Amino acid sequence: MAIVNTKAIVLSAIKYGDTSLIVKCYTEEEGVKTYLIRGVLKPKKKGIKVAYFQPLTQLKMVANHNSKNTLNAIKEVQVHHPYKTIHSDIVKQSMVLFLSEVLSSSIQEEEQNKTLYAYLETAFIWLDTHDKIVNFHLLFLLNLTGFLGFYPDLSEKDKIGFNLLEGNFSDSTQDKNVIYRNDFYQFKKLLGINFNRLETVTYSKDERQLVLQVIIKYYALHLDSFRNPKSLQILETVFS
């Protein structure tokens, strides 16, 4: 058992028994870790607060990490970047719920990846501090594929379609994994941009939904662990 000082981002929290939570976090020091937080739901619980474990909350903590694959324990915890708008804005809230679910099924590694951690941290601070965020989740997920190992190969951009399975541009539109025409055109708008250029991308409600479906299919083809997010419906309702 090792005592670890680490920053962490909450991916999920599930009620365990009457008063406890099982919390899954992405930690800066050791990747994905799961913690049992006993008694946190008791009405007069001192110290660790249940509010710390809302999706995508950024924490700083001292934790006991087991080597035996059992649940870990948090000794001390505080909120590292208190969000100003994420938990009060309905659109951002729905987005966060959706993204935490996608991250939970996409990232499995129990190992350090500081560049991925830095990406998550900066992306969520960006979401918290900006207003024009309707396409945030699309660019967030697309750019995340770079850290997960399947960002689109941009080398043959003049071809007329994109092969979701191979992750490259393609002219063979008969292949069931190739998107072309409008699907391809809308998807292509996001390639190679960062959050500060997000305002230059415009989508109608239907186009946004279409691109999200394409990205979800892309994830499903590349990640064995990927599950279709249950919160997708909530997101679609908020945007409709």
Structure confidence at residue 32 (pLDDT): 96
φ, ψ dihedrals at 169, nearest 5°: -75, 150
pTM listed for this prediction: 0.94
The strands making up 31-37's β-sheet, listed across from edge to edge, are 31-37, 20-27, 2-16, 58-65, 73-79
Is the CB of residue 208 less than 8 Å from the CB of residue 134? yes
Neighbours of 38 (CB within 10 A): 16
For position 47, what pLDDT does the model report?
A: 81
Q: Which two tokens stand for residue 45?
A: 């619980």
Tens-place pLDDT, residues 132-176: 999 999 999 999 999 999 999 999 989 999 999 999 999 999 999
- What mean pLDDT value characterizes the chain? 94
CATH, domain range 85-240: 1.20.1440.120
Between CA 107 and CA 224 the distance in angstroms is 11
Query: Mean pLDDT across the stretch 19-40?
Result: 96
What is the DSSP secondary structure assignment for residue 14, as one 8-state letter?
A: E
Per cent of the chain over pLDDT 70 is 100
Which pair of structure tokens corresponds to residue 127? Answer: 């979401």
- Which CATH code fits 1-82? 2.40.50.140
Q: What is the mean pLDDT of residues 108-120?
A: 96
Question: Which is more confident, 69 or 150?
Answer: 150
Domain ranges of the chain: 1-82, 85-240
CA pair distance 196, 123, nearest whole angstrom: 11
pLDDT band at 46 (very low <50, low <70, confident <90, very high): confident
Residue from 7, 2, 47 nearest 26 by CA: 7
Q: Name the DSSP letter for residue 152.
A: P
Output the pLDDT for position 201: 94
Radius of gyration of the chain (CA): 19
Is 91 a residue whose pLDDT tops 90?
yes
- Range list of H helices, the chain: 90-106, 114-129, 136-148, 181-188, 205-222, 232-239
Give yes or no for residue 69 having a pLDDT over 80.
Answer: no
